[in-house]
Amino acid sequence: MTDYVADAKKAFRGPASAALSMEILLLPLSLIIMDKLEGGLTAVKITWVVVVTLGMIVAIARFSKPWALPLALALQVLVLLGWVVSPSLGVFGLVFCLVWAGMLWMRHEVLRRRAQWGAGPG
């Protein structure tokens, strides 16, 4: 892997960690919404939120590892699948899946353009 591709992939760690940090802060707050709008909390709702939040903490701590991005994306799918447990969780997951889709598209564009610039004369 050339240096510019490696640098572009390393540059993605910051925005990805920021998005995960935001989710770590907001996901537990969704319990308040579930409690007020959905008629209370259940053990399944609480467990779902706690497990996914802990997974996000692990993903941030290990984002330099090659498996961290797939872990972060799998956690996004879990939050989206939380719709089965709670509609509030599903909406939360949908919003952050769109955020991640945008970030991945930008990462792809940076890598593509860096490859074009690296392949050109000069």
Domain borders along the chain are 3-116
* 5-63 tens-digit pLDDT: 566 667 788 888 899 999 999 999 999 999 999 888 999 999 999 999 999 999 999 88
* 57-93 tens-digit pLDDT: 999 998 888 888 899 999 999 999 999 999 999 999 9
Q: State pTM to two decimals.
A: 0.82
pLDDT at residue number 5? 58
Let me know how long the chain is: 122
